[in-house]
Amino acid sequence: MQILSEQELVRIWEAGYRQHSLDQAMTILMAAFPGMLRGTLAELSIGQRDECLLAVRRQTFGAQMAGLTTCPACQEQVEFVLNTAVLPIPTAIPPASDLQTMAIDTSEMQFRLPNSLDLAAIVGCRDAIAARHLLAQRCIVQVVQDGKVVSKESLPETLITLLADEIEKRDPLAEIQIDLNCPTCRHQWKMLFDIVSYFWTEIAAQAKRLLRDVHTLARTYGWREADILSMSSVRRKLYLEMVT
């Protein structure tokens, strides 16, 4: 895994600021794992993808991730902190998951874990149930009931729900939930944490801050952007302090 420099963060932001969040995740990973093909990255399960993003973020900005959210009960702002220090840092992209098998009564289902391509296929679905059924049909390879192969398009809702629960167990990082407690009204709830949007917000803020620094130094000293970006962050900070 390659550590992302300040200049690389600017290039990532410039390449992906108009992209969908699914593509932004790929843009980040392609920069951090330059030897990997985009298609290979897209075939990672969502949990594998997010494990890699968490590792890249930890190497870039540190293990602590702090933020604000709103209490659903009293609408007060609540702070949260997520520590990723306990998570392993992969030195290379892990292999895509093999086919999974799940037995339910007299049925056996073969499936794979959802990946970024599957999520892209349901982006346009406005109905949650239709999206879940489409996702299930994409991930299910085969269903055998009483020794006979049955159509995956006609599976009952109960079976799809069981499949969703099983996928969550086998790909736990696909849904990161944080336990929160409002200090004002004591309401407790779980918040779904989205590493893609969180990390992208940080990248965008860092890139814009660096470009503002470039603007200040170029206007003051007439230096080229390439020369300013080649400076160490410590040296650049000293020049900025002298300007202000």
Residue 91 has pLDDT above 60, yes or no: no
Mean of pLDDT values over 8-14: 95
pLDDT tens profile 37-71: 999 999 999 999 999 999 999 999 999 999 999 99
Confidence of residue 93 (pLDDT cuts 50, 70, 90): low
pLDDT (0 to 100) of residue 97: 64
C-alpha span between 32 and 16 (Å, rounded)? 14
pLDDT tens profile 116-140: 999 999 998 989 889 999 999 999 9
- Is 230 in contact with 215 (CB distance < 8 Å)? no
Confidence of residue 88 (pLDDT cuts 50, 70, 90): low
Q: Which of 13-17, 105-109, 141-145 has the highest mean pLDDT?
A: 13-17
Among left, alpha and beta (phi > 0; psi -120 to 50; other), residue 62 is left
Percent of the chain at pLDDT exceeding 70: 95
How confident is the prediction for the chain on average, in pLDDT? 91
Work out whether the CA dihedral 125, 129, 133, 139 comes out positive or negative: positive
SS3 assignment, position 125: coil
pLDDT (0 to 100) of residue 81: 92
- Is 139 in contact with 110 (CB distance < 8 Å)? no
pLDDT (0 to 100) of residue 78: 96
pLDDT (0 to 100) of residue 200: 98
Task: Please name the residue that has the structure tokens 């503002």.
Answer: 212
